[in-house]
Amino acid sequence: MLISIFLFIPLITAVACVLIKKHNVSKYISVAGSFALLLYNIYLGYTIYLNRSLTELNGFFYVDALSLLTAQIVSVVGFAAALYSIGYMDAELHAAEFPEKRLRWYYFLFHMFIFTMLAVCVANNLGIMWVAIEATTLSTTFLVGFYNKKPHQEAAWKYIIICTVGITLALFGVILTYHSSKNVVGEIGYALNWTDLLAVADRFEPHLMKLAFLFIIIGYGTKAGLAPMHTWLPDAHSQAPSPISALFSGVLLNCSLYGIIRFHVISSKCLGPNYSCTLLMAFGLTSVIVSIPFILVQRDYKRLFAFSSIEHIGFIALGLGFGGMYSIYGAELHTFNHAVAKSLLFFCGGNLFLKYKTREMESIKGIIRTMPVTGVILIIAVFAITGIPPFNIFVSEFIVLADAFSSGSAFVLIFTSLLIVFLVLIFVGYINNIFKMIFSEPAETVVQGEVSKFTIAAMCFLLIFVLIISFYVPPIMRVILSQISDIIRNA
Amino acid sequence: MIEHLFVLSITLFALGALFALCFYKWQMLGNYLSFILAAIASCVNIAIAISVLFNHTAERFNFLLYHAIITYSFLIDSLSAIFILAISVISLIASVYSLGYTKLYVNKRDMRFFGFHFNLFLLAMILVVTANNALVFMIVWELMTIVSFFLVIFEYENPFHRKAGFVYLFMSYICAVFISVAFFIMFSYVKTWTFDFDSFRYAGDIMPAISKNIVFFLVLIGFGIKAGIFPLHLWLPLAHPAAPSNVSMVMSGVMIKTAIYGFIRFYFEFLTPSPPWWGIIILIIGASSAILGILYALLEKDIKTLLAYSSVENIGIILIGIGLSMIFKSYNLMALSSLAMIAGLYHVLNHAVFKSLLFGCAGNIYYSTHTKNIEQLGGLIKRLQVTAPLFLVAVLSISAIPPLNGFVSEWLIFQSLLNGFTIPSVIVKVLTAICGATVALTGALVATCFVKAFGISFLAMPRSEYAQHAREVPVIMYVSMGLLAGLCIFMGLFPVKIMTTINHVNTELLGVNIAHTITSYDWLQTKTLQTNFSEISLKSVTVFGLMFFAITVGAITLINPGFTKKIYKTWTCGISPEPRFGYTATAFSKPFRIIFSNLYRPRREIETTYTVPKYFVKSIVYIAEITPIFEKYFYAPLSRYVLSISNKVRWIHTGSVHIYLVYIFITLIISMLVIGW
Amino acid sequence: MIQLIILPILQIVVIAGLSPLIKGFINNIEARFQCRKGSSLFQPYYNLAKLFRKDAVISETASWIFIATPYVTFVSILIIALLVPVLSSTVPANFTGDVILVIYLFALGRFFLALSSLDTGSAFGGMGGSREMTISSMAEPAMMLSVFNVAIINGSTNLSNITQAMLSYKLLSPSLFLSLAALAIVIIAEAGRIPVDNPFTHLELTMIHEGMILEFSGRYLALIEWASCMKLLILLTILVNTFLPWGIASGLTFPGLIVSFFLYIVKIGFFAFLIAIVESSFAKVRLFRIPNLLGTSFVLAVLAIITHYIVS
Amino acid sequence: MKQHIIVNSQTIDVLAVMMLIATILHISTGRLTTCVWAYAIRSFILACASGIIAYLSGIYHIFITTGITLVIKVVIIPWFLFYIIKKVGIKKEVESFLSFTLSLLCSCGVILVAYYATEPIIQFESTLMKHCLPISIAITLVGFFTMITRKKAITQILGLLAMEDGLFFAALSTSYGMPLIVELGVFFDILVSVIIMGIYVYRIKETFESIDIGFLKELRE
């Protein structure tokens, strides 16, 4: 029952939110629900820490360290976003950006979104996982187009079209995997369970598996924001309400990446790690490269953050592709770090939007004086996201790069060296764009002060994670990370 | 014991930082508390350094916090200790100085973050030189950068300060990247996942030559940026003037020395044995930084920028010492290597002292006149009566005028250079001689530069209202500067003590003790400073000087006992003197602008406006500026290129969903083809 | 012990006492080249005596630096006089310093002079100071390099050691000869003689050293004038006793010192005569041609070192 | 549970080719309604194939799939699309970025790529249904290609549906269908996604007064 309850929490919250008409009540229910989820997740984490993995309903649900980490990210960022939503949505409602009744649906879809993402994490069946990932797209389309104005509709349309196409390709990959397993598992595979498949993956039909993984990485890669399939991402991220952008960037991308990783494990076992690692590295590096010019020259801060997500997903893919024990450890740590830091950035962005009603960086000046708290958090978040020590992302990047250098492969070495050059460029772009907003003479007309206490609370909640992981990784997390490393390396 | 002290000092710094943050209403009180705590912590650190230096013990601390992979480990050996000593002394004085200097900002701006960053900055520097783990090193290294970045952009309303901060941050990031990559490469051979420095200490033996060479260059560029060697100095003349003086004092005085620390750690511990050409490259870079740094300083009018360029020059001189030490070491001339190292480290200490003093005095000037442009100063010697002699001491010291400390290290550098004749390679021999000439030229140019800096700002008549109404700064500011001036004199007169201390470091680092060649030798209660090449005794020079002074004064008074001085206006061809008649800084350095015009590429515009009849000049506008060649021909085109490429590439996001689908489609098709093939 | 006390005093007496005479000698020779009778050989002494007795006028803009300068300059030159072997190759005070210290003590005097030139706020002073610093910046590397060559050849930067070692040379090696030439050029520049500076003029376009000391008067001027005379003599002494030390006493024996003294007079006189010839036959070069001249000296010094390394 | 079931039927191959032809009809037709009809026909063929496979293999849960296919893909979705076309009042012409000839040539190329990529796989295929896998990939890719070249929002939906048909066919012909629960989930997702897209087509029409998504170019760099 452990896992089912896990899934029920957001589902019940969602239903409660949509049934209760008064949004003053439903917003607190939403927070309470996500907080319960957070607590429950900690409990679940402890169970996994003790048992390594957990199956339920005849192997329909399966939770191991890898899914647990993703679920943790979902619940942490989910709680922060729920908290943030109160402040953000109230302010937007106050500004009459949308009718009040729509807010019910916002909370409903919000929790459905969380539900689908959790379903991705706990599904053992690869087909169900696919269904869940597609469901994340469906549940969020309306959130992207929440304001229902021209650019939002456009973004929503692009989002659903591109993601659905990608996901469809991924389904093809799933089918091909299934097909390649038929010689081993039998013609009628009643189950497409990951655990069952992995057990016999070394006897799969290799050519089919190759093709299958290709479809998977392109398909789920579309959703994960790997270049050149990333194109929906900046639009959707910039048009969605900020808490949703945070969830997108912090969690949704990781969920899709989680899908890739599951297949990566199977493919590595079937074909040897080289094939899938090379693909991961290629797409990873492309993502990092593609994000550079847009980070260097950018007008819209939310798009900037979005492109930075592409870069980080690329980095994680690279880390997984390098394939060393520590580089996977680092990449997974990076997943968490990025989720926290990027969500924090999007929250900062949301606060800026509430204050200035614009996403143009040029028209925002002197944040440090007008909104000191947001300003300071933004500075920390920017430093964190660009991998400046001592912040958390530096630690994970350092581990990944160190492992890459010690891998001894010339190919990896070239990739890593290029990556480092790109990281520098990205840093330049970030600082150049963001710090102009933070440190400058504010316009006279802007009123000083923060917009909402809830938003600040949510930001502080994430900030704690950023700061703690910078200096201290809890032992439970370290165990989980090394378990993930073992899972991915088939050790 | 030392561990407790170390933790104590960290705690004090951290407490100080928090105090500054906590006080919202009484911000100055918070700041004072934090400065005082910083001063106490610095005292603790001085105690640590001295204890380590004199007990010859290396102290290790491992703090078992659960980091992702590492433990926070620190090591204080004598090399660290000598740097801790320099850093803490300057920190102490800077903290005390800040008590006065920050009055400049009272009620004008939010001061909470100043004390916070200031304390963290001091703490980070201490941690940098003690970190015994690559990851910890990188963390504290960047911590140092970040907090100093915030101190640089403290007055962020000024766009120049912002630009300075950004350039500083970019360059520092590149610096961190290079150092990290150097660590990665070394790590790929030792493969100890704790990243402990102890594992790197044997890296030099197991690494192949090619990797070692790569690491050499990575480290050179990485730490070179922080040290500000040419042409990587870009950030330095921007950031140092932008920071408040009490910060630039620390930045220029000791922060850039952490890079020197890095050089020594890498080149003398991790990467040994080294081929001779490494040392030669360091030597050449040192010499060129020295000469170029001072040439640019010479033409500066902003006193803090001038001092910043002068830091580039001094880093060059330090690098000459270190490069020589490397050369000697690779030829296995260990005693000489140790001598050159002593020269280099002595100059590190010296530069820390006199550069902080200079920046402090520049701060005093800014405090009382609110300008940094020396063209607008003048006549300050009569208004800042205490600051002026302090500044003079600093100026004499940096110009290596005996008997002050600058001369001692310069002399040691010369001695090490001259000992280059023992090296078997002719090229190196000639090179050392040429470097000797370069140092001599640099020395002369430094003297010119600081004659200008002192003369134009303190002497003659005040050239502006600011200078006219200058008042002496608060007592605490010049008292703290007085301590530094005292140190300048002390380190000049009693060099043997300091040299033997550095010799301890060398004994550990190079495994050779040359204490017997720098023996003390008593005569007239003086101790000489001897090497195997020559000897000097600045103490006796001073004694002789005082003696001669007394005799001269006595004799002169005997000749004409009724001597009187008449005070009268300066003779200016019959017109009554005006401030405009005084020589300006631009004019003073003009001969150099003409002689070195190939380097400076000066541009000047003269615009004359006439009154109605064309014979009477109404006004003349004279604009003269020099082209910073590295900025113009290297950095600017590079950044333009990157930006234009980015701008061109951005069209791929056309906004059309069809095109986006095309990307996916093409990716799919190409990958399918590639896999089939 | 007597050696320790007498010889330094003797050195200072010789340098301080003879230096105005050298100036008078050069002036006299030059006058004769110009078909004038010239002033007395002892005219500089009279001038100094007169100046010492006079009162002084001081600019109201000037600060204590202005008053300190003459003393600093004079004292620094006196210290140098202790460090240079004059009559005997053993300099008792040689533990105090070496040739590098000598060069930097010159810099000390120059530093203060340049400061005081700016102190009065007159344009002439500043111009003189600026030019002086420019020329000395150019001269210093050449001087260092030529001295280094000698130092390297003899294994010491201590002038007394150098002189002693040089005594064993019968003939100057080509390398040393090049150094000698380089040093000679530098000395002309450092001492402010034609073709670098004209010590007789007070014309604003040409003056360098004179520009700096334009505002001094009375005893201050006397000290500075005397110091500059001594500087010339010391520079010549360094030249003579490092490159051509033949006949110099190596201990403190009375006959040795006498011989050494006369030889010293002759050698210095010879070089003073050479200076007079040069001053009479050349015009002062333009300020921005001076770097070329000093560059030549620098190249000669570099050549000297290279020849030394390659030949030995 | 190793149970080798081999379905060898030339009929399936023929049906596969028919499906491909129906897909190419998408490309070659100029009328929107024809496209929807083509989709309905192809779905029907798919349902037939599904029924045959269910029958031949004896895996009876595929009959359920067949039923759902008939209901959703042959009836509900085409009906919904016609409803949208009528409701939004779209002009019946299909607008394309490429000319028909060029589109056809490109789709030929795409089919070639599908065969080329699967070549090493179908070599080892023991059944007669060697064409099934490449053809299903080809259908998917051609569907994708339709999405790229067609301007209207509704044609993009059709392209997506074509892709999905390709998938279903691949699943059926190669592995005899996926586990039932997965199939159900997939059907549900497709239905929901088509509905959501339909809603957006309507909204876009409302806001932009056109469903030519060439207009959707505001968000760009």
Q: Residues A50-61: pLDDT tens digits?
A: 888 888 877 788
Do C and D touch, counting CB pairs below 8 Å (3 needed)? no
Residues in contact with B228: Cβ distance below 8 Å, sequence separation at least 6, in sequence order: B235, B236, B256, B259, B289, B311, B312, B315
Shortest CA distance from B673: residue in chain D: D117
Residues facing residue B61 across a β-bridge:
B74
Contact yes or no for B146 and A388 at CB 8 A: yes
pLDDT of the residue at A286: 93
Region of residue D6 (left: phi > 0; alpha: psi -120 to 50; beta: else)? beta
With tokens 């060898």, the residue in question is D8
Distance from CA of B463 to the nearest CA of A (A): 32
Q: Is B160 on the interface with A (CB under 8 A)?
A: no
Please report, for residues A315, A327, A487, D139, D140, the alpha-carbon distance to residue A484 in angstroms, rounded to integers and kept in the order given.
Answer: 17, 11, 5, 38, 34
Q: DSSP readout, B97-156? A: HHHHHGGGGTTTS--HHHHHHHHHHHHHHHHHHHB-BHHHHHHHHHHHHHHHHHHHGGGT
**How far apart (Å, rounded) are the C-alpha atoms in residues B354 and B408?**
13
Q: Whole-angstrom Cα distance, residue A2 to residue A14?
A: 19
In this structure, are residues C211 and C117 in contact, taking their beta carbons and an 8 Å threshold?
yes
The pLDDT tens digits of the residues spanning C160-178 come to 888 888 888 777 788 888 9
Chains that touch A (3 or more CB pairs under 8 A): B, D
Please give, rounded to a whole number of angstroms, the shortest distance from the CA of D54 to a CA of chain A.
12
List the domain boundaries for chain D: 10-209
Task: With beta carbons less than 8 A apart as the criterion, state whether A387 and A432 touch.
Answer: no
Contact B587 C127 (CB under 8 A): yes
Residues of chain B found within 8 Å of residue A214, distances taken between Cβ atoms: 668, 671-672, 675
Angle at which helix A253-271 crosses helix A475-488, to 10 degrees, equals 50
Sign of CA dihedral A470, A473, A477, A480: positive
Whether pLDDT at C69 is above 90: yes
Contact in structure between B145 and B172 (CB atoms under 8 Å): yes
**pLDDT reported for residue D1:** 37
Q: Does the beta-carbon distance from A192 to D59 stay under 8 Å?
A: no
**B18 near A CB under 8 A:** no
Nearest to A153 among D2, D117, D203 (CB): D203
Average pLDDT score over residue span C18-43 = 92
Position B43 confidence tier, pLDDT thresholds 50, 70, 90: very high
Which residues have CB under 8 Å from C297's CB, separation 6+?
A: C139, C142, C146, C181, C182, C183, C185, C186, C189
Residue-wise pLDDT for D81-120, tens only, equals 888 888 887 776 777 788 888 888 888 998 888 888 887 7
On chain D, the residues whose CB falls within 8 A of the CB of B664 are 144
- Say if residues B118 and B96 touch (Cβ distance below 8 Å): no
Is residue D36 within 8 Å of residue D198, measured between CB atoms? Answer: no
Taking residues D58-75, report their average pLDDT: 85
Calculated CA dihedral for residues B160, B166, B172, B173, nearest 10 degrees: -170
- β-sheet bridge partners, residue B565: C56
To the nearest whole Å, the CA of A379 is away from the closest chain B CA by 11
Residues of B in contact with C82 (CB under 8 A): 544
Q: In degrees rounded to 5, what are phi and psi of residue B403?
A: -100, 35
C neighbours by CB contacts (3+ pairs under 8 Å): B
The span from the CA of B336 to the CA of C65, in Å, is: 41
**ipTM of the complex in this document:** 0.90
Counting runs of H as helices and runs of E as strands, what totals does chain A give? Answer: 21, 2
The SS3 of residue A97 is coil
Q: How many residue pairs from chains B and D have C-beta atoms closer than 8 A?
A: 53
The pLDDT, as a whole number, for residue B523 is 43
Contact D145, D97 (CB under 8 A): no
Q: Which residues 6+ apart lie within 8 Å of A54 measured at CB?
A: A2, A3, A44, A47, A48, A61, A62, A63, A64
Determine the residue type at B427: I
Separation between Cα atoms, residue C191 and residue A100, nearest integer Å: 93
Q: In 3-state terms, what secondary structure has residue B186?
A: helix
Q: What are phi and psi of B607, to 5 degrees?
A: -125, 115
pLDDT score for D8:
62
Question: With contacts defined as CB-CB under 8 Å, which chain A residues touch B645?
Answer: 293
pLDDT score at B244: 92
Residue of B nearest to A220 (CA): B664
Burial class (CB in 10 A: 0-12, 13-18, 19+), A46: exposed
Share of chain B above pLDDT 70, in %: 97
Indicate whether D130 pLDDT > 80: no
Q: What is the chain A residue with the closest CA to B141?
A: A389
pLDDT at D5: 56
Name every chain B residue with its beta carbon within 8 A of the beta carbon of A440.
156-157, 162
Number of neighbours of residue A237 by Cβ within 10 angstroms: 32
- Nearest-neighbour CA in chain D from B645: distance (Å): 14
**Does position A113 have pLDDT exceeding 50, yes or no?**
yes
- How many other CB atoms are found less than 10 A from the CB of residue A295? 26
User: B522 has which bridge partners?
Assistant: B527
Q: What does the domain layout of chain C look like in residue ranges? A: 2-311
Q: Average pLDDT over chain B, rounded to whole?
A: 89
Name residues 124-143 of chain D within 8 A of B (Cβ). 141
Q: Compare C127 and C201 and report the one with higher pLDDT.
A: C127
Compute chain A's Rg from CA coordinates.
21
Distance between CA B396 and CA B357 in Å, rounded? 12
CB contact under 8 A, B647 and A297: yes
C73 within 8 A of C223, measured Cβ to Cβ: yes
In this model, does residue A191 exceed pLDDT 60? yes
**For B206-247, what is each residue's pLDDT tens digit?**
889 999 999 999 999 999 999 999 888 989 999 999 999 999
* Residue C249 per-residue DSSP state: B
B143 interfacial to chain A (CB closer than 8 Å): yes
Instruction: Evaluate if residue C17 carries a pLDDT over 90.
Output: yes
- Asked if A333's CB is within 8 angstroms of B68's CB, the reply is yes
Are D170 and A187 an interchain contact pair (Cβ–Cβ within 8 Å)? no
Which residues of A fall within a CB distance of 8 Å from B174? Answer: 424
Mean pLDDT, residues A1-20 taken together: 87
Q: Which residues of C touch B567 (CB under 8 A)?
A: 57-60
d(CA B440, CA C137): 8
Q: Is D215 on the interface with B (CB under 8 A)?
A: no
Strands B565-568 and C56-59: parallel
| B354 vs C: CB within 8 A | no
- Most confident among A220-224, B579-583, D145-149 (mean pLDDT): A220-224
Cα–Cα distance for residue pair D189/D195, rounded to 1 Å? 10
Disruptive mutation site among A222, A388, A434, A480 for chain B (greatest number of B CBs within 10 Å):
A388
Residue C115: closest C-alpha in chain B: B455
Name chain B's partners: 3 or more CB pairs within 8 A.
A, C, D
Contacting residues of B for C137, CB less than 8 Å apart: 441, 444-445, 447-448, 592
Residues B451, C100: C-beta atoms closer than 8 Å? no
Q: Has residue B485 got a pLDDT over 60?
A: yes
Beta-carbon separation of A138 and D3 below 8 A: no
- 8 Å CB contact between C258 and C73: no
Nearest residue of chain B to residue D217 (CA atoms): B655
Burial of B103 (0-12, 13-18, 19+ CB in 10 A): middle
Name subunits touching D (3+ CB pairs < 8 A).
A, B
Among A25-29, C205-209, D121-125, where is mean pLDDT lowest? D121-125
Question: Coil, strand, or helix at residue C56?
Answer: strand
Instruction: For residue B668, list chain D residues with Cβ-Cβ distance below 8 A.
Output: 141, 144
| Paired strand residues for C249 | C88
Q: Name B242's Cβ contacts closer than 8 Å, sequence gap at least 6.
A: B152, B153, B155, B158, B160, B161, B164, B165
Torsion of CA B399, B402, B405, B410, to 10 degrees: 60
Q: Under 8 Å CB-to-CB from B112, ≥6 apart: which residues?
A: B20, B21, B23, B24, B27, B30
Spatial distance between the Cα atoms of A344 and A356, rounded to a whole number of angstroms? 18
